[in-house]
A and B are shown apart, each in its own frame.
Chain A
């Protein structure tokens, strides 16, 4: 009888252990583990990609129980590190002692708002957190804690609601929508802007416009802040306000996909506060974890996100080769639109002249692969070129259109008039809304007061 009772007890213990595994092992990512375990790299639950952390950060752990003195999430913003149709990534900051790093999400906003843990209709994803310092000795006294969560296995074309933090200390509830299934031609919209450095208020105005336009995502052409290594600049950027509107209202809802600008200067602060697809290639900064340049697909469009802030020939050649590999692998019968995004313009009529090496190496790649649009900033104005092929004007629809959208807040630059390849230039604050509906592209460039600079359509 004693043996039987012992057997029963053991059986029950095994069963309870199995139950516990059923609820917790699924939350735990492979290679990481929750409860504040140290982490260097891991694969988030349900994700088909790995996340690796820069070596230069401190106290890198998975979600932990430490609440700390300032546990309220701030600087919440979303992006994609995996497929936009089934995932999203979210970053946020807290005080230095807080290790709570969970994302609660689901399709029912009321359930997500009410939940303090996973439950009916609400799932949890554990993320990682660490403390980072500035990569510049000028700001050596600055330390900040960042948290990052990756939510995967989502349904395409669906609105999800989420909040970040941990039990008792959650952010507001935000909504984020997944992309249509890959290569599906359902209409989508993105907002393009760049160069917000120095004027968070103007940037917040553009974020309000992105929200009001119901953009599915944002493309940003770099120079978000004046000094990339200064965390105070980043806090201003993420906490930018325009009157009663906080930029976080858009940044936490609309995935923000950016390239590095010369003012970010490849600072650690830039790389650790955004999550993008990581694919380590030769020449990338070790801090970038493969995110210095990257690509992603949204519906039937493909985006090359490039770094042109390292201006030697080898760097341009290396990225041109990477670009070629990516574009060679595209099935252009399914991908209707290809965009290249980087900071420096290849064609411009404003302050900063193009770099000859970049024009030569990247321009050729754009021509060869029939890239539809090249989206840049750096010059603080709006410019749109005529279609260009091999350095000369091409008929509409058969060349690459080069856009400079650098009017998100930095002091404006004048634009010249003696540039025959430019279709239109204007010294103005503004942004661009691009709608893609299958083989049709609608383009609208707008000033910050919502008046239209120009609009046109392209058909494939």
Chain B
């Protein structure tokens, strides 16, 4: 006689085995059942048509029509990829809707103007309407478009300045908008020649770490730095050649470029070149400027030194050496400035 326990064993095992796949079934919860899948396929064509229609309506600045079509598309197969797109656009349009679609329609039309279609008269006319727009994201976006267009598309910084100021005065302006408008306002003033004032404004606004601030600072430095660097190089070349010219006789060049000196110079240039090559193309490019410039300066210094021999007074030699070092630093500055490595260094240093 078998015990009830024995008879129950297989039953229990069967029951547990039946339950076991549920562990896997939990995991398959995301799969669609065939009915859902076929409905998705059926809805697909209609949904695509609705999305196409909605996007056409947006392109033609008909936001109300677009909204209706997106809503219909989102309701078809709500779990589909295109319904997700429709919902995103619904959210965007609803956030910009109001009692009237007029302001949004005006903005969409201005945004879609093609190359060459934006004129000062057209922009001025649009700007004139903005006071009548209700405050909110549409008016802020319109203010941004107007200010940026005056500054960057029509190259009218004087006209851009009040436009940026009005944008900054908009109620509800976000931090990012404020930062952008403040920066662009400073750039507009800099374009009118007031670079130092613009740098001061940006620093006062707490935007000293922005790349634009570093760019303006380097522009300010370059205003005096570039001519000064060139002047230093020319002064050194003139002084060196002038001092050594009389002593330049036969063999001076050969003595100046002796194998040990050439080997030393080669080593001095090879190391930074190799480092630049490994690091980044920008630094490599900068070194390609620095090395020939420095090599030329060293060549002049070497030949001049040999030509002067012991005849030169120590004070003159010291002056020439100091001028030579200054000229080399000037060449390095010009190379780093030209290749924007200086800007990259400054921005990265500021950020961290």
Chain A residues engaging chain B, CB cutoff 8 angstroms: 1, 4-5, 7-8, 11-12, 14-16, 18-24, 26-27, 105-107, 111, 118-124, 153-155, 157-160, 175, 177-180, 186-187, 189, 198-199, 201, 204-205, 211-212, 214, 216, 226-227, 230, 232-233, 236, 241-245, 262-263, 265, 309, 311, 351, 410-411, 424, 427-428, 435, 437, 447, 449-455
Asked if B22 lies at the interface with its beta carbon under 8 angstroms from chain A, I say yes
Q: Can you report 14 A-B residue pairs in the complex whose CB atoms are below 8 A from each other?
A: A11-B12, A12-B13, A14-B13, A21-B20, A23-B23, A118-B26, A159-B79, A186-B44, A187-B51, A198-B351, A232-B351, A263-B280, A428-B152, A452-B114
User: What's the tally of chain B residues with a CB closer than 8 Å to chain A?
Assistant: 76
Q: How far is the CA of A57 from the CA of B17 in the complex (A)?
A: 42
Complex contact A159–B81 (CB within 8 A): yes
Q: How far is the CA of A187 from the CA of B54 in the complex (A)?
A: 13
Complex contact A198–B113 (CB within 8 A): no
Encoded as 1 (CB less than 8 Å from any A CB) or 0, chain B from 324 to 352 comes to 00000000000000001001100110011
In the assembled complex, how far is the CB of residue B45 from the closest CB belonging to chain A, in whole angstroms? Answer: 9
Choose, from B60-68, B84-92, B192-200, B305-313, the stretch at the interface: B84-92
- On whether A205 and B176 interact (CB within 8 A), knowing A177-B81, A452-B112, the answer reads yes
Q: How far is the CA of A201 from the CA of B351 in the complex (A)?
A: 13
Complex contact A15–B114 (CB within 8 A): no
Asked if B250 lies at the interface with its beta carbon under 8 angstroms from chain A, I say no
Q: Name which residue of chain A comes closest to B8, CB basis.
A: A8
Majority-rule SS of B interface residues:
helix
Complex contact B81–A158 (CB within 8 A): yes
Complex contact B88–A187 (CB within 8 A): no
Complex contact B85–A199 (CB within 8 A): no
> Between A and B, how many residue pairs show CB distances below 8 Å?
203
Complex contact A216–B17 (CB within 8 A): no
Asked if B38 lies at the interface with its beta carbon under 8 angstroms from chain A, I say no
Asked if B24 lies at the interface with its beta carbon under 8 angstroms from chain A, I say yes
Complex contact A19–B145 (CB within 8 A): no
Complex contact A198–B281 (CB within 8 A): no
Contacts of B145 in A (CB 8 A): 449-451
Asked if B6 lies at the interface with its beta carbon under 8 angstroms from chain A, I say yes
- With A118-B26, A155-B37, A411-B340 known, 14 other A-B pairs at CB within 8 A are A4-B9, A7-B6, A8-B5, A19-B23, A22-B22, A106-B29, A107-B30, A119-B26, A120-B29, A157-B82, A160-B30, A262-B280, A351-B340, A450-B145
**Which A-B residue pairs are the 7 nearest by beta carbons?**
A23-B23, A243-B174, A242-B176, A15-B16, A22-B23, A214-B88, A243-B176
Asked if B35 lies at the interface with its beta carbon under 8 angstroms from chain A, I say no
- On whether A23 and B114 interact (CB within 8 A), knowing A4-B3, A159-B84, A178-B81, the answer reads no
- On whether A198 and B211 interact (CB within 8 A), knowing A243-B174, A428-B152, A454-B115, the answer reads yes
Contacts of A14 in B (CB 8 A): 13
Complex contact A216–B81 (CB within 8 A): yes
Complex contact B5–A4 (CB within 8 A): yes
Complex contact B110–A451 (CB within 8 A): yes
Complex contact B149–A451 (CB within 8 A): yes
Complex contact B347–A198 (CB within 8 A): yes
Complex contact B174–A244 (CB within 8 A): yes
Asked if B119 lies at the interface with its beta carbon under 8 angstroms from chain A, I say no
Q: Which of chain B's residues 280-309 have a Cβ closer than 8 Å to chain A?
A: 280-282
- On whether A214 and B23 interact (CB within 8 A), knowing A241-B176, A263-B280, A451-B113, the answer reads no
Encoded as 1 (CB less than 8 Å from any A CB) or 0, chain B from 151 to 181 comes to 0110000000000000000000011110110
Contacts of B28 in A (CB 8 A): 123
Encoded as 1 (CB less than 8 Å from any A CB) or 0, chain B from 174 to 217 comes to 11110110000000000000000000000000000011100100
Complex contact A447–B148 (CB within 8 A): yes
Q: Which of chain B's residues 12-51 have a Cβ closer than 8 Å to chain A?
A: 12-13, 16-17, 19-24, 26-32, 37, 40, 44, 48, 51
Q: Name which residue of chain B comes closest to A139, CB basis.
A: B352
Encoded as 1 (CB less than 8 Å from any A CB) or 0, chain B from 109 to 146 comes to 01111110000000000000000000000000100110
In the assembled complex, how far is the CB of residue B214 from the closest CB belonging to chain A, in whole angstroms? Answer: 8
Q: How far is the CA of A410 from the CA of B51 in the complex (A)?
A: 35
In the assembled complex, how far is the CB of residue B305 from the closest CB belonging to chain A, in whole angstroms? Answer: 37
- On whether A232 and B30 interact (CB within 8 A), knowing A155-B37, A178-B81, the answer reads no
